[in-house]
Amino acid sequence: MHLRKRDGALDLLKWLALLSMLLDHLRYVGFSADWLYVPGRLAFPWFCLAMAANLARDGRRKTEWRYLGWLVLFSAVSEIPYRLYIPEPDTLNVMPTLALGLLVARGWQDSAPVSRLLALAALVAAAVFSERLMFGFFGVMLPLAMLLVFRRPWSLSVLPGLICLAANQWQVLLESARFGSSLATLGLATCLFAPMLGMFLLRHLRHLQPPPMRRWAYALYPVHFLMLLAVRAAYT
């Protein structure tokens, strides 16, 4: 049986996205670490890029529906740990945004009527419930933007960069940067260049072989909230 070699760069991107997310959420443990906001801006675009990479490689396969099932399942499983840890959250956890983004990207890629109808439904849901989704409507569009430029020249990475920026409250960041906030300036730059940096990793670090990140990694999302919650309880 022919076994396809794993893409080490893709596994590395997933691990780095997970690390970025962990750093971002450490801001809520209880000590002053606002600077972690900057590396935290890498997490969501890199998860979207990993999704686009899987679609570009396996987009015609039916396994993507299983991928959607895992996202929906852990959207539900993660909501309580997310709300216990994040102070006064005004959005759902990030999994629903990724699930809707997968439907939109898959609908663009697959001309089957059911895929197109689900993509349209996801777009409508993203527009109607944008304020309740983490990263909002533009966050739902980011996986598709990543997919559109996945095998194209570097210069086109500015498109997902702008969409990533729009998904990250760019008005607040821009206003803070105008008043001299270096944190906001770095946040703006990170959002804009995160897709390009992720593309660079995928194209040039394929020789690396980090531990493979398989389906068990979905459980890391709710589990890391519970672990950080325990750390905060011990810290305070």
Q: How far apart are CA 175 and CA 163, in angstroms?
A: 18
Q: How far apart are CA 231 and CA 189, in angstroms?
A: 31
Question: H or E element: which one contains 116?
Answer: helix 113-128
Output the CA torsion sign for 164, 169, 170, 173: negative
Q: How confident is the model at residue 66 (pLDDT cuts 50, 70, 90)?
A: confident
Select the more confidently predicted residue: 216 or 155: 216
HSE-CB for 10 with a 13 A CA cutoff: 17
pLDDT digits (tens, 9 = 90+) for 127-173: 999 999 999 999 999 999 999 999 888 788 899 999 999 999 888 88
Q: How far apart are CA 5 and CA 99, in angstroms?
A: 27
The answer on pLDDT for 200 being more than 50 is yes
Q: How confident is the model at residue 83 (pLDDT cuts 50, 70, 90)?
A: very high
Q: How much of the chain, in percent, has pLDDT values that exceed 90?
A: 73
Return the pLDDT at 3.
Answer: 46
pLDDT digits (tens, 9 = 90+) for 92-121: 999 999 999 999 999 999 888 999 999 999
Q: How far apart are CA 60 and CA 53, in angstroms?
A: 13
pTM of the model: 0.93
Closest CA to 103 of 92, 94, 116: 116
HSE-CB for 28 with a 13 A CA cutoff: 20
Window from 153-157, 191-195, 225-229 with minimum mean pLDDT: 153-157
Domain parsing of the chain, residue ranges? 8-235
Q: How much of the chain, in percent, has pLDDT values that exceed 70?
A: 94
DSSP letter string, 182-214: HHHHHHHHHHHHHHHHHHHHHHH-TT--PPP--
